[in-house]
Amino acid sequence: MTATLLAHKDLLLFIGAAALKVLVFLNGVMGFTALLTLAERKVSALMQDRVGPNRASIFGLALNGLFHPVADGIKMLVKEDFVPGRADKLLFALAPFFALVPVMALFALIPFGDYVMVFGYRLDLVIAQVPLGVFLVLALSGLAIYGVFLGGWASGNNFTLLGALRGAAQMVSYEVVLGLTLVGLMMIYGTAGLQDLVRAQGKLLFGFVPAWGIVVQPLGFVLFLTAAIAENKRTPFDLVEGESEIIGYFMEYSSMRFAAFMFSEFVEIILVSMLSATLFFGGWQVPYLYDTGFVLPGGAALPLNHYLVAALQVASFSAKTVFFSWFLLVVRWTLPRFRFDQLMTLCWKRLLPLALFNILLTGAALLALGKL
């Protein structure tokens, strides 16, 4: 009887901890996504020497455009939800879900900290601890292709279909490169779990250099970020939209269905930023910070409270995510759009051979060091 009660208690604690992590982490992501829609406009205005959004206000208080995401949400809610007469009604309705839901599900795999003790219970700061998290990330991210293709095809419009075909070709192609860029990391760290990859990056090379992915796989990082931006379908890889050419796969969408497509694009920015930080920049790791506090290479130590250590780790992960999100916004407003033939040439004739070469180089280095 006692064992049964303990089992029920553990189950309730597990469910409660999971619900708390989902509530805190995903609400944080949603809030940051809303702010990114404002940051996108602010960055573009700064680079084009404009004022940018500054007119949405409440009781005359504008706060430099902070209320624009609220105004966007209200506008999307009250706009007419139009469905073309030639559209496939079921697939037309499902396409935005296929675009947004797989991306949102991926956040369950991202570790935003190590762990924290709550009333004697160890709370791992990741929603879902998956041993093969890297492969699940690739599998779920590939499902977003269905949202793009179904949205264009189900609209019954030739121009949206053209955008859908472009999107499917682009995302399938760069998905191959994206997966190959991570092989080198898994070879070096010997794991495919995201939390395990982050913990492995806490080691020191030569006694003082953090073993982050950017240090051991610099070429892999460049290839990964390039392929991830292409998967995100943003400039310079926004051929699926191409406003001056074909308008895009979501041309027939309006109201909250269009908002789901737009929202998924900004959510993907955060996802790419979190994955870049997790895989190549130590995730929640802070150089020389361990469970007990800071321990410097020379032997000097600064003991810290457990909760302060956990807070610094979460803050480190958040800062890296914000930095990469800002970087992706700057890239979007800096580089011109590729032609579609240039896009495919870059993938199959440049990035793919380099990704394979990176795997070969990693294997040769591990063999030379006696790690294989």
State both tokens at 289: 């910070």
Rounded to 5°, the CA angle 333-137-39 comes to 25
pTM passes above 0.75? yes
Rounded CA-CA distance 210/288 in Å is 8
Q: What is the pLDDT along the chain (372 residues), one digit of tens a residue?
A: 455 544 556 677 777 777 878 888 888 888 899 999 999 999 999 988 998 888 888 888 888 888 888 888 899 889 988 899 899 999 999 999 999 999 999 999 999 999 998 877 888 889 888 888 999 999 998 888 899 999 999 999 888 898 898 888 999 999 999 999 999 999 999 999 999 999 999 999 988 999 999 999 999 999 999 999 999 888 888 888 776 776 678 889 999 999 999 889 999 999 999 999 999 999 999 999 998 899 998 888 999 999 999 999 999 999 999 999 999 999 999 988 888 899 999 999 999 999 999 999 999 999 998 876
Alpha helices per DSSP H over 52-132: 68-78, 89-106
State both tokens at 362: 């990693």
Contacts with 141 (C-beta within 8 Å, 6 or more apart), sequence order: 102, 103, 106, 175, 178, 231
Q: What does the domain layout of the chain look like in residue ranges?
A: 88-368
